[in-house]
Amino acid sequence: MIIEPRHLLIGLPLLLLGWITVLALVMRLGGPAPAALVILPPEQFLSALPPEVSITSRNALGLTAKGSPDLVAALYAAGAPLVLPAGLASCMGL
């Protein structure tokens, strides 16, 4: 079987979108994660965060936060467009 370039151009973005969707659903519906990664937060996001949420790192694409047990709800309430899990141990346990 030969993989054509046009199949890769269609398949790889769909794979990436599916992976991000699964991570977002796990973060929203699953148990607590040690931290959360907020992708492309809006400018007023930091001022809208509750005091129990702390920012552990920040770069041009997003920031990592940890804090309250309802961290995901607090981040979305502050205006986060996308929250993904951060700081999870790998499934291999290496």
How confident is the model over 82-86, as a mean pLDDT? 90
Helix, strand, or coil here: 25? helix
How confident is the model over 77-90, as a mean pLDDT? 84
Helix, strand, or coil here: 86? strand
- Topology adopted by domain 5-86: Alpha-Beta Plaits (3.30.70)
At residue 29, the pLDDT reads: 86
Give the contacts of 68 (CB within 8 A, at least 6 positions apart): 50, 52, 53, 74
pTM of the full predicted structure? Answer: 0.77
- Angle at the Cα of 52 from the Cα atoms of 49 and 56, rounded to 5 degrees: 75
Helix, strand, coil share of the chain (percent; to 5):
40, 20, 40
Amino acid at 18: G
Is the predicted pLDDT of residue 70 greater than 90, yes or no? no
How would residue 67 be classed by pLDDT, with cut points 50, 70 and 90? Answer: confident
Mean pLDDT of the chain: 87
